[in-house]
Chain A
Amino acid sequence: MSKDVEFRIWRGEGGQGGFANYRVEVNEGEVVLDLVHRLQATQAPDLAVRWNCKAGKCGSCSAEINGRPRLLCMTRMSTLPAGQPVVLTPLRAFPSIRDLVTDVSFNYAKAREVPSFVPPAELKPGEYRMRQEDVNRSQEFRKCIECFLCQDTCHAVRDHEENKAAFAGPRFLMRVAELDMHPLDAAAEAGLDRRADAQDVHGLGYCNITKCCTEVCPEHIRITDNALIPLKERVADRKYDPLVWLGSKIGLRPKS
């Protein structure tokens, strides 16, 4: 069963532009990206959009659908309100390049500021032993497809350009949490204090646990509950109890 639907798509370059209206045929089961492709093939061949996998796996096709940050390839037309135009705009928190494409380099810069995994000096490749229970938490965070929808939606960035320098955003605070919860990360031995850095370098304090990031995450990662709040607790523990820090250094890390 096909029907025509109206699309209002923001078109322009470098932030200058406006909405263009299109009518396009929609068939059963289609997702928004199908319609963007149909428009490219028939009415708007130069309509700029990012996409790779069309299966919700690569996190390329992020945009805002009716004002809400979403993946174009995982949003089915049948889930949008019928009889109303579908409004597509680029991610608001990042500079516009063209049409639905934005400059997401902010995220790559932030990624570089988080010190990498530190391998334990005493273990050779092949000697790593970890229990499934102990890797579950970090594994949840590694489901992240870097769509940056959480980065786009977090009000600390979305409405405050000036915070960008000091705030890594939920995606990269979660990365800090992931490494801090990695059972074999040897950051402490290398003189790194991930918890102090979370607060002092990556701006954990800007997060006031509104959970908006969790709501938009297409991977259903519980960013706030499982990464940000525990990270805040760890920071607090560390601040008030020097023994925790010492304990973790000599292998007595309390179960947390």
Chain B
Amino acid sequence: MDSYDVVVVGAGGAGLRAAIEAREQGLRVAVICKSLFGKAHTVMAEGGIAAAMGNVNSGDSWQVHFRDTMRGGKFLNHWRMAELHATEAPERVWELETWGALFDRTTDGRISQRNFGGHEYPRLAHVGDRTGLELIRTLQQKVVSLQQQDFKESGDYEARLKVFQEYTVTRVLKEGDRVAGVFGYVRESGQFFSIAAPAVVLATGGIGKSFKVTSNSWEYTGDGHALALLAGASLLNMEFVQFHPTGMVWPPSVKGILVTESVRGDGGVLRNSEGRRFMFDYVPEVFKGQYAQTEEEADRWYADPDHNRRPPELLPRDEVARAINSEVKAGRGTAHGGVQLDVSSRLPAEEIIRRLPSMYHQFKELADVDITREPMEVGPTCHYVMGGVEVDPDTAASPAVAGLYAAGEVAGGMHGSNRLGGNSLSDLLVFGRRAGLHAARYAAGLTTRPVVDQAQLDAAAAEALAPFAEGGENPYTLHQELQQTMNDLVGIIRRAGEMKQALDRLAVLRRRAARVTVEGHRQFNPGWHLALDLRNMLLASECVARAGLLRRESRGGHTREDWPGMDRDWRRVNLVCTLDEDGIAVQRQANPPVRSDLLALFEREELAKYFTPEELADEQGR
């Protein structure tokens, strides 16, 4: 069996950054990813990466970024993660330039930054609307450069950093309470593999493929979430799922594909079928005062942001998604059940093509729409999961399982109840690096290495082969039913009755999934892979539904029709999911109090909207 110091599961932004760090600490590192190297979901990110470099507006600082992040997450974020993220993001972006990244520039030659929803200043470093591609390619090329260095020294490119592409992990192995390695299958051959390692970093991304309408890629089956649960770790705040306000809605083949928020950041506006810029009607109480109240003021803001308030199209995503949902429900939607997003009347054609090349391309080729001449039709699409593996904010370590780390979308806490655009890519780098660093330190500090237990390997192999037994159902059918269930019953607007119904259906699906049957053999068999992914999607979906049912309030990516208000008492509560013999259990856990110097960055009046009087009184008493 192969043996490494650190195994990183996932080769997106978080996984690669973790692997680079662990390798630079001098350890032997394996990266495992279920698609080809360089194709991870991160490649799809469009708009940019948030970092308070202050290149476009020197008023920006980590404090302002921290504030925006907490507001966006409705103060449910783990404050320490939000603080580390805001302070370290600029270094992480600048470092990318030393590895060859080429961001768009300002006129004085620095990294250009663009406006985005919820960010007070232009803050997103970007490359047109293909920032994720730049990020993944830069990290990929950094990995290659480390391999070239190793080749020079040892004659072996893979001496200290090896990428196992198209390998899928199905189990984290343990010795007692600590991590011992990973088990999985090789896509091409269908053979099993296992790697012994004392430290495992989960960087597997999100869960969007459990929903029918989603911007997420094939990879997003909640594998890391499930691997963590099965290994005894806990998941935090799984009820918070972000529905991006602008996905494509027509034709059906492309429904859900993302339309980047940069369209609005660069001047695009939302209109209903009556031609009204309806977002002015949806500025919620907590954000009153921060957004323009008239179209004139909103339009002036692009040129003069210091003396005007920003347009309400740039409210955090949860607000915009709900507004679109309401407009469509009220009968003011487009023919295909969306609203209009128009940039054609706002910018000259050449400018649109220069700033939004992939959007231009995407609509032209997939929908026969020329966005320089006509509006796009858009509607909400499942985009991101705020919930994830509970981790220590500084080290990214799971408090429950020694040697287990998590970073990126699979980790929880950083974004609270709603993530701001651009804050994921920066999160990947900040916490990917931290996870790699601390996993390396942990592995290096061990005196005895854990031993992989044969019985666990046998059980994992038996579990993976189960779908070859005859007589069960087709996994594709189950997947479609799961997606429909989550979309209809645990989607953007939730109700107790529907979530209960969803849980009943999930229980039935789980029983049926235990007996799916796949055709063919083990070599590169997508039916088999889907059959194994079902376990993960069902676990993640159950966490979303159970936690969603319990949280009786509306906040960020969790909107309850039956509990429409935000409740300050609930801000103090994190919901934590674990897996036991009976299935998913959800417990309440106190959200740690925010450090006082960070609270002092806000006006009392604003804090009073989120914090109970007792909490604020405690604060004053200190």
**A residues touching B (Cβ–Cβ < 8 Å)?**
13, 27-31, 34, 40-42, 45-60, 74, 76, 97-99, 101, 103-104, 108, 111-112, 115-117, 119, 123, 125-126, 128-132, 135, 138-139, 142-146, 179, 182, 185
Question: Could you tell me if A34 and B253 are in contact, using CB atoms closer than 8 angstroms?
Answer: yes
Question: Could you tell me if A52 and B365 are in contact, using CB atoms closer than 8 angstroms?
Answer: no
Instruction: Report which of A53, A99, A129 forms a contact with B109, defined as CB distance below 8 A.
Output: A129
Q: Give every chain B residue within 8 A of A40 (Cβ-Cβ).
A: 476, 526-527
**Closest 5 CB pairs between A and B?**
A29-B251, A46-B520, A117-B100, A116-B145, A129-B109
Question: Could you tell me if B148 and A29 are in contact, using CB atoms closer than 8 angstroms?
Answer: no
Question: Could you tell me if B100 and A182 are in contact, using CB atoms closer than 8 angstroms?
Answer: yes
11 A-B contacts (beta carbon < 8 Å): A29-B253, A34-B253, A40-B527, A48-B523, A52-B217, A74-B365, A104-B36, A112-B151, A116-B142, A130-B109, A138-B102
Question: Could you tell me if A58 and B44 are in contact, using CB atoms closer than 8 angstroms?
Answer: yes
Q: Does B602 contact A (CB under 8 A)?
A: no
- Which one, B88-96, B421-429, B582-590, is touching chain A? B88-96
Question: Could you tell me if B41 and A28 are in contact, using CB atoms closer than 8 angstroms?
Answer: no
Q: Give every chain A residue within 8 A of B100 (Cβ-Cβ).
A: 116-117, 179, 182, 185
Question: Could you tell me if A52 and B144 are in contact, using CB atoms closer than 8 angstroms?
Answer: no
Known: A52-B39, A129-B108. A30 touches B145 (CB 8 A): no
**Smallest distance from the beta carbon of B108 to chain A beta carbons, Å?**
7
Question: Could you tell me if A29 and B476 are in contact, using CB atoms closer than 8 angstroms?
Answer: no
Known: A34-B253, A57-B133, A135-B102. A46 touches B97 (CB 8 A): no
Question: Could you tell me if A48 and B148 are in contact, using CB atoms closer than 8 angstroms?
Answer: no
Question: Could you tell me if A46 and B217 are in contact, using CB atoms closer than 8 angstroms?
Answer: no
- Distance of A99 Cα from B527 Cα, bound (Å): 14
**Additional pairs, 17, CB under 8 Å, beyond known A28-B252, A126-B94, A132-B104:** A29-B252, A31-B366, A45-B519, A45-B526, A46-B519, A48-B523, A50-B35, A58-B44, A60-B36, A74-B366, A116-B148, A123-B98, A125-B98, A130-B109, A139-B102, A142-B127, A143-B133
**Smallest distance from the beta carbon of B368 to chain A beta carbons, Å?**
8
In B113-172, which residues have CB < 8 Å from any A CB?
127-128, 130, 132-134, 137, 141-142, 144-145, 147-148, 151, 157
Q: Does B524 contact A (CB under 8 A)?
A: yes
Q: Does B474 contact A (CB under 8 A)?
A: yes
Instruction: Report which of A47, A53, A129 forms a contact with B526, defined as CB distance below 8 A.
Output: A47
Question: Could you tell me if B39 and A60 are in contact, using CB atoms closer than 8 angstroms?
Answer: yes
- Distance of A234 Cα from B200 Cα, bound (Å): 47
Known: A41-B476, A52-B39. A46 touches B253 (CB 8 A): no
- Distance of A23 Cα from B253 Cα, bound (Å): 19
Question: Could you tell me if A52 and B525 are in contact, using CB atoms closer than 8 angstroms?
Answer: no
Q: Give every chain B residue within 8 A of A135 (Cβ-Cβ).
A: 102, 104-105
- Distance of A46 Cα from B188 Cα, bound (Å): 13
Known: A46-B520, A125-B91. A112 touches B39 (CB 8 A): no
Known: A129-B108, A131-B109. A97 touches B157 (CB 8 A): no
Question: Could you tell me if A146 and B38 are in contact, using CB atoms closer than 8 angstroms?
Answer: yes
Q: Does B373 contact A (CB under 8 A)?
A: no
Q: Does B358 contact A (CB under 8 A)?
A: yes
Question: Could you tell me if A56 and B109 are in contact, using CB atoms closer than 8 angstroms?
Answer: no
Q: Does B218 contact A (CB under 8 A)?
A: yes
- Distance of A104 Cα from B521 Cα, bound (Å): 22
Q: Does B254 contact A (CB under 8 A)?
A: yes
- Distance of A145 Cα from B358 Cα, bound (Å): 12
- Distance of A42 Cα from B91 Cα, bound (Å): 50
Instruction: Report which of A34, A45, A111 forms a contact with B474, defined as CB distance below 8 A.
Output: A45
Q: Give every chain B residue within 8 A of A28 (Cβ-Cβ).
A: 251-252
Question: Could you tell me if A76 and B358 are in contact, using CB atoms closer than 8 angstroms?
Answer: no
In B35-56, which residues have CB < 8 Å from any A CB?
35-39, 41, 43-44, 53
Q: Does B367 contact A (CB under 8 A)?
A: yes
**Smallest distance from the beta carbon of B35 to chain A beta carbons, Å?**
5
Question: Could you tell me if A97 and B524 are in contact, using CB atoms closer than 8 angstroms?
Answer: yes
Q: Does B110 contact A (CB under 8 A)?
A: yes
Question: Could you tell me if B524 and A98 are in contact, using CB atoms closer than 8 angstroms?
Answer: yes
Q: Give every chain B residue within 8 A of A125 (Cβ-Cβ).
A: 91, 94-95, 97-98
Q: Give every chain B residue within 8 A of A115 (Cβ-Cβ).
A: 148
In B468-516, which residues have CB < 8 Å from any A CB?
474-477, 480
Known: A48-B526, A143-B133. A29 touches B108 (CB 8 A): no
Question: Could you tell me if B253 and A45 are in contact, using CB atoms closer than 8 angstroms?
Answer: no
Q: Give every chain B residue within 8 A of A185 (Cβ-Cβ).
A: 100
Question: Could you tell me if B102 and A182 are in contact, using CB atoms closer than 8 angstroms?
Answer: yes
Q: Which of A52, A104, A146 has the most CB of B within 10 A?
A: A52
Known: A28-B251, A40-B476, A142-B102. A57 touches B43 (CB 8 A): yes
**Smallest distance from the beta carbon of B133 to chain A beta carbons, Å?**
7
Instruction: Report which of B36, B254, B362 forms a contact with A29, defined as CB distance below 8 A.
Output: B254
- Distance of A123 Cα from B521 Cα, bound (Å): 55
Q: Give every chain B residue within 8 A of A45 (Cβ-Cβ).
A: 474-476, 518-520, 526-527
Q: Give every chain A residue within 8 A of B38 (Cβ-Cβ).
A: 146
Question: Could you tell me if B518 and A46 are in contact, using CB atoms closer than 8 angstroms?
Answer: yes
Question: Could you tell me if B361 and A101 are in contact, using CB atoms closer than 8 angstroms?
Answer: no
Q: Give every chain A residue within 8 A of B37 (Cβ-Cβ).
A: 108
Q: Does B287 contact A (CB under 8 A)?
A: no
- Distance of A129 Cα from B316 Cα, bound (Å): 32
Q: Does B257 contact A (CB under 8 A)?
A: yes
- Distance of A164 Cα from B350 Cα, bound (Å): 41
Instruction: Report which of B95, B219, B362 forms a contact with A55, defined as CB distance below 8 A.
Output: B362
Which residue of chain B is the closest to A145 with respect to CB atoms? B133
- Distance of A29 Cα from B141 Cα, bound (Å): 36
Question: Could you tell me if B254 and A52 are in contact, using CB atoms closer than 8 angstroms?
Answer: no
Q: Give every chain B residue within 8 A of A57 (Cβ-Cβ).
A: 43-44, 130, 132-133, 358
**Smallest distance from the beta carbon of B213 to chain A beta carbons, Å?**
13
Question: Could you tell me if A31 and B253 are in contact, using CB atoms closer than 8 angstroms?
Answer: yes
Question: Could you tell me if B144 and A131 are in contact, using CB atoms closer than 8 angstroms?
Answer: no
Q: Does B528 contact A (CB under 8 A)?
A: yes
**Smallest distance from the beta carbon of A4 to chain B beta carbons, Å?**
17
- Distance of A179 Cα from B362 Cα, bound (Å): 28
Q: Give every chain B residue within 8 A of A142 (Cβ-Cβ).
A: 102, 127, 133-134, 137
Q: Does B66 contact A (CB under 8 A)?
A: no
Q: Which of B141, B151, B528 has the most CB of A within 10 A?
A: B141
Which residue of chain B is the closest to A144 with respect to CB atoms? B137
Known: A46-B527, A52-B219. A145 touches B43 (CB 8 A): yes
- Distance of A221 Cα from B483 Cα, bound (Å): 37
Q: Which of A47, A104, A144 has the most CB of B within 10 A?
A: A47
- Distance of A163 Cα from B257 Cα, bound (Å): 40
Known: A53-B217, A108-B37. A139 touches B127 (CB 8 A): yes
Q: Does B240 contact A (CB under 8 A)?
A: no
Q: Give every chain B residue within 8 A of A108 (Cβ-Cβ).
A: 37
**Smallest distance from the beta carbon of B498 to chain A beta carbons, Å?**
26
Question: Could you tell me if B251 and A30 are in contact, using CB atoms closer than 8 angstroms?
Answer: yes
Question: Could you tell me if A52 and B137 are in contact, using CB atoms closer than 8 angstroms?
Answer: no
Question: Could you tell me if B367 and A29 are in contact, using CB atoms closer than 8 angstroms?
Answer: yes
Which residue of chain B is the closest to A35 with respect to CB atoms? B253
- Distance of A106 Cα from B23 Cα, bound (Å): 25
Question: Could you tell me if B518 and A58 are in contact, using CB atoms closer than 8 angstroms?
Answer: no
Q: Does B250 contact A (CB under 8 A)?
A: yes
Question: Could you tell me if A46 and B252 are in contact, using CB atoms closer than 8 angstroms?
Answer: no
Which residue of chain A is the closest to B98 with respect to CB atoms? A119
Which residue of chain B is the closest to A60 with respect to CB atoms? B39
**Smallest distance from the beta carbon of B377 to chain A beta carbons, Å?**
12
Contact string against A for B residues 216-253, beta-carbon threshold 8 Å, 1 for contact and 0 otherwise: 01110000000000000000000000000000001111
Q: Give every chain A residue within 8 A of B128 (Cβ-Cβ).
A: 139
